[in-house]
Chains A and B, each alone.
Chain A
Amino acid sequence: MSRYWKISLVIALSLLVLLFSPFCGLSLISPEVIWIPGHPEADVFWKLRLPRTVAAFLAGAGLSMSGMVFQALFRNPLATPFTLGVSSGASFGASIYFWLGGSTLALAGSLGPLAASLAGAGLSMGLVYAVTRAKGGFSTAVMLLAGVIINFFFSSLVMFVQYLSDSHDSLRIMHWLMGSLAGLETAGLADLGFVVLAGAAAVGLMAPEIDLLTAGEELAASRGVQVNAAKVRLFLVSSITVGAVVSLSGPIGFVGLMVPHVCRLGLGWSHRLLLPAVFFGGGSFLVLCDLAARLILAPAEIPIGIITALLGGPFFLWTLFKSTRTGDVF
């Protein structure tokens, strides 16, 4: 099967998942009733399931795309959207919010955690950028080191805040850290859509630069890429995307690791071809995970981060055994 057929197949299957998923849940919704005004199932469809499906799709697409970019930038398939600490910064912001309470922060209402985690994500992103710049140029090694250190630092701060919190707030923090699309704030959905789609467009335009950076920075520069400027743009686009997703859904792990890897097995490393597959594949994968999260222990709901993590463990083992056989993690 040619690579173009494979991409078409991934996109077609993803659109099918996107189309049918809002009708599925604890009870199936008939397509006829969704157009009847005031029908209770129509309300469930339009106000709950559809926004949630769209959110899951955008989150999966954004995280997978950012994972793909970081893996290319660091030339390491084990890099994730959270490697540079944006997620732990967002977690720190959210945990501060839950600890101090919305009224103290004048951020009452369900938008509070969103705003606080966005601020945290922005703070960690700014720190990674400043540290990398301070060392001169925009070295990938320094960026990676700064990201890992800031990741640990904010993770420690999250634990510290959790230690200071009472049991109720601590539970809320822990629940946020698991990642979930339950109780989603639809007000942020349009913004998330804008950020993820704009990010995808930017990454798409930079696909040749990403390919060349994957080939090596010296080679990329000798082929005409302004390496430092390209790295800064990719860092900003990916980090802003991750920050926006994590602020809305919490840190949903492994999706940004698994989806690009699986897509690369079929499509290789040409990012012009890889991006659409990763975007649609990641989006629909998380929609399916969300469906599983809602159905496995229904009517109770499992945080989606648990589902992706349960899939991620075996996936890591598979990657390890595959790399042992081939002698190569790619």
Chain B
Amino acid sequence: MLKIENFSYAFGRRPVLTDISLEIRAGDYLSILGPNGAGKSTLLKGLLRLHDQGRATGRILVKGRDLAGYSQKELARVISYVPQAGGWIPPFSVRELLRLSRYPYAAISSGLNDSDLAAVDRALKLTGLGDLAGRQLRTLSGGERQKAYLAAALAQETEIMLLDEPASFLDPRHAADLNRLLRKLNQEQGLTMLTVTHDLNHPAQAGGLALVLAGGRKLFFGPVAGLLSGGILEAAYQHDFLYLFHPRSGGALVLAE
């Protein structure tokens, strides 16, 4: 589904990502971890082609095709993006935000057709936001707004979804709700998901694959189970961690010492 080959990115002489190679299959769930400045968001931007392409080397293949060969609209029909909820809040209602996600499918200014509207309704239903569809984003709580961004990405009906710290502004309950929803979408809808996160317990609970970046280099890539041993997190964050097991689920918990 997604193959990254020797991808590097630099701001002038300062490398941000160095020689990253990995392959993601359809339906995989990948958690991207690493300390601040490790290059996590730059990797996401590389996959979305938001970066200055003159500063990048290497190759990214999406569904077997070079990312550079996609038009912006073609790419938007394959990869969707959920930004962080903090910062600028678009002056739209939830439904308006979702309708904008149909842009890659619409002819110029012709408006939305029935299948577009059905996709919007499906996304609202999947995220349970039907009752809030008419509300302005700025009037929603952080958790509701983050769900609205997720719904907007779902309305884009792509096979791959990229999420940039989706739970970073949420309280523990909303964060848990959102993470459950992401896992459900991954398992039931077969969505390939790549999530940048600072929550070390997220991959432990969500399972799937993990990628750990440090100093712009790949420190670990593989099943999450392999992440919880061998001092990978300690090396990435230059910090000690305590590994516990959840008394009921038996899942791993990671605590910073």
Would you call B159 an interface residue if the criterion is a C-beta within 8 Å of the partner chain's C-beta atoms? no
Given A204-B109, A223-B156, A224-B104: A216 and B79 interface contact (C-beta under 8 Å): no
Q: Point out the residues of chain B lying under 8 angstroms from A214, CB to CB.
A: 90-92
Q: Point out the residues of chain B lying under 8 angstroms from A328, CB to CB.
A: 138
Q: Tell me which of A208, A218, A225, A330 contacts B72 (CB under 8 A).
A: A225
Would you call A269 an interface residue if the criterion is a C-beta within 8 Å of the partner chain's C-beta atoms? yes
Instruction: Determine the distance from Cα of A219 to Cα of B88 in the docked complex, in whole angstroms.
Output: 11
B80 adjacent to A212 (CB under 8 Å): no
Stretch at the interface among B25-33, B47-55, B248-256: B47-55
Would you call B101 an interface residue if the criterion is a C-beta within 8 Å of the partner chain's C-beta atoms? yes
Would you call A109 an interface residue if the criterion is a C-beta within 8 Å of the partner chain's C-beta atoms? no
B100 adjacent to A215 (CB under 8 Å): yes
Total contacting residues, chain A, CB less than 8 A: 28
Closest chain A CB from B177 CB (angstroms): 23
Residue on B nearest A75 in the bound complex, by CB = B88
Q: Point out the residues of chain B lying under 8 angstroms from A215, CB to CB.
A: 90, 92, 97, 100
Q: Which of B19-74 contact A (CB under 8 A)?
A: 45, 48-50, 52, 72-74
Would you call B108 an interface residue if the criterion is a C-beta within 8 Å of the partner chain's C-beta atoms? yes
Q: Point out the residues of chain B lying under 8 angstroms from A218, CB to CB.
A: 45, 48, 50, 81, 83
Instruction: Determine the distance from Cα of A214 to Cα of B72 in the docked complex, in whole angstroms.
Output: 18
Instruction: Determine the distance from Cα of A330 to Cα of B50 in the docked complex, in whole angstroms.
Output: 28
A208 adjacent to B83 (CB under 8 Å): no
B104 adjacent to A221 (CB under 8 Å): no
Closest chain B CB from A77 CB (angstroms): 9
Instruction: Determine the distance from Cα of A137 to Cα of B53 in the docked complex, in whole angstroms.
Output: 11
Would you call A211 an interface residue if the criterion is a C-beta within 8 Å of the partner chain's C-beta atoms? yes
Closest chain B CB from A207 CB (angstroms): 6
Given A218-B50, A222-B76, A224-B77: A268 and B96 interface contact (C-beta under 8 Å): yes
Q: Which of A182-207 contact B (CB under 8 A)?
A: 204-207
A272 adjacent to B109 (CB under 8 Å): yes
Closest chain A CB from B204 CB (angstroms): 28
Q: Point out the residues of chain A lying under 8 angstroms from B76, CB to CB.
A: 222-224
Q: Point out the residues of chain B lying under 8 angstroms from A156, CB to CB.
A: none
A222 adjacent to B109 (CB under 8 Å): no
Would you call B103 an interface residue if the criterion is a C-beta within 8 Å of the partner chain's C-beta atoms? yes
Q: Point out the residues of chain B lying under 8 angstroms from A110, CB to CB.
A: none
B91 adjacent to A223 (CB under 8 Å): no
B90 adjacent to A219 (CB under 8 Å): yes
Would you call A313 an interface residue if the criterion is a C-beta within 8 Å of the partner chain's C-beta atoms? no
Instruction: Determine the distance from Cα of A205 to Cα of B109 in the docked complex, in whole angstroms.
Output: 6
Would you call B75 an interface residue if the criterion is a C-beta within 8 Å of the partner chain's C-beta atoms? yes
B103 adjacent to A222 (CB under 8 Å): no
Instruction: Determine the distance from Cα of A269 to Cα of B82 in the docked complex, in whole angstroms.
Output: 21
B81 adjacent to A137 (CB under 8 Å): no
Would you call A8 an interface residue if the criterion is a C-beta within 8 Å of the partner chain's C-beta atoms? no
Would you call B106 an interface residue if the criterion is a C-beta within 8 Å of the partner chain's C-beta atoms? yes
Q: Point out the residues of chain B lying under 8 angstroms from A270, CB to CB.
A: 92, 96
Instruction: Determine the distance from Cα of A270 to Cα of B101 in the docked complex, in whole angstroms.
Output: 14
Instruction: Determine the distance from Cα of A137 to Cα of B253 in the docked complex, in whole angstroms.
Output: 44
Residue on B nearest A269 in the bound complex, by CB = B91
Instruction: Determine the distance from Cα of A218 to Cα of B106 in the docked complex, in whole angstroms.
Output: 19
Q: Point out the residues of chain A lying under 8 angstroms from B97, CB to CB.
A: 215
Chain A to chain B contacts (Cβ below 8 Å), 25 pairs: A75-B88, A205-B108, A205-B109, A211-B92, A211-B100, A212-B100, A215-B92, A216-B88, A218-B81, A218-B83, A219-B83, A221-B48, A222-B48, A222-B50, A223-B76, A223-B101, A224-B72, A224-B76, A224-B77, A226-B72, A269-B90, A269-B92, A270-B92, A270-B96, A272-B109
Question: What residues make up the interface of B, taking CB atoms closer than 8 Å to A?
Answer: 45, 48-50, 52, 72-77, 79-81, 83, 88, 90-93, 96-97, 100-101, 103-104, 106, 108-109, 111, 138, 156
Besides A208-B106, A223-B76, A330-B138, 17 other CB < 8 A contacts? A75-B88, A204-B109, A205-B109, A212-B103, A218-B50, A221-B49, A221-B50, A222-B48, A222-B80, A223-B104, A223-B156, A268-B91, A269-B90, A269-B91, A272-B109, A328-B138, A330-B91
